[in-house]
Amino acid sequence: MQTIRAAVCHSFGAPLTIEDVTLAPPRPGEVEVTLEACAICHSDISFAEGAWGGHLPAVYGHEAAGRITALGEGVTGYVQGQAVLVTLIRACGGCASCSGGQPVFCETPYDRVHGPLTLDGAPVEQGMACGAFAEKVVVHTSQIAPLAEDIPMDAASLLSCGVITGVGAVVNTAGVRPGQNVVVIGAGGVGLNAIQGARIAGAARIIAVDMSGEKLEAATEFGATDGILATEAEPWNAVRALTGGRGADAVFVTVGAIPAYDSAPRYLAPGGRVVMVGMPHSGAMSQYEPVMLAALGQGMIGSKMGDVVLRRDIPWMVDLYRQGRLKLDALISGRYSLDQINEAIADTRAGRARRNVIIF
């Protein structure tokens, strides 16, 4: 057992406190990773606000990168000192979902409360199976992926969630093809990565929709061909004008705002699909007109973590970054110490940040 510093949530909606917690050594099939960077995702903030429940106290954080410092029994294919990213995707490898190539939907349960973290002898929930707002983590081997030595850790950490969620939603979930038209609602961290994914996939029109003109300007840096203010009257008509009256083959909702979900089907072309990426709070409800979806052969589908398969998707994304075709460094808005985490969270919550990163 060892003592590490971590940002602990004791009460939903309250500031996190930096405390010494106890970290257990890795069990069979687990690894210990000493972290060098952890980005702040809106999901961390939602959990800390109590939007999706959970046990307290808890340590959140799930978008991280670092180096392996201990290996549990039976772990092969990794060595101490190796650079890896850490994700929330915990997969058994043998259930129906894992066997079917969908590890993000692993059906094998695990103890979400009694993990490797304790405080004064009591369990601390390892938020999203990671607990990465801490100096070290102990996670299942399925939750890591090797990194190239020349990729900076702060940039690499973004691959753990925000990048794979946005790019994967386009490439894996929607299967966008060259020449298709895409709308991305929300030009924040995940939205910018959906825009990048659409550019990589060869989309003809990549139309960003956001409440902020400043964010629409940023969207063009990442590949958006057009930007439309969501505050315009019936902005879907502007999309139709840009696409010759047809609309979008795929609409990606990358924010958890209900008005965005309500309006998303209006942007669709016949046969198009809304891809639901952003996660509203539990109990929030959206409305749409099902007869239109049925009559035009349209659909709605969820996308969790971009339907990523780590060993398949991380290598080609890293390669794209090294070629200069996938922007990671430009996604980082600010770098903070662990002691500054509440400041970094406040900046993220205010909507000013693409991604803020905690540097250890």
What is the SS3 assignment for 220?
helix
What band does 1 get if pLDDT is binned at 50, 70 and 90?
A: confident
pLDDT bracket for residue 216 (50, 70, 90): very high
Q: Which residues contact 114 (CB under 8 A, 6 or more apart)?
A: 123
Task: Report yes or no: 197 and 169 within 8 Å, Cβ to Cβ.
Answer: yes
Instruction: Report the percentage of the chain scoring pLDDT > 70.
Output: 100
Domains of the chain: 2-160+328-359 (3.90.180.10), 166-304 (3.40.50.720)
**In degrees rounded to 5, what are phi and psi of residue 15?**
-60, 150
Note the pLDDT of residue 53: 86
Report pLDDT digits (tens) over 271-294.
Answer: 999 999 999 988 999 998 999 999
DSSP state of 357: E
pLDDT for the residue 267: 98
- Residue 346 phi, psi dihedral angles, 5° rounding: -60, -40
Residues 173-196 have pLDDT tens digits of 999 999 999 999 999 999 999 999
pLDDT over 90 (residue 351): no
pLDDT band at 67 (very low <50, low <70, confident <90, very high): very high
pLDDT category, 166, cuts 50, 70, 90?
Answer: very high
Does the pLDDT of residue 112 top 90, yes or no?
A: no
**How does residue 137 score in pLDDT terms, banded at 50, 70 and 90?**
very high
Average pLDDT of the chain is 96
pLDDT beyond 90 at 207:
yes
Reported as a pLDDT band with limits 50, 70 and 90, residue 135 is: very high
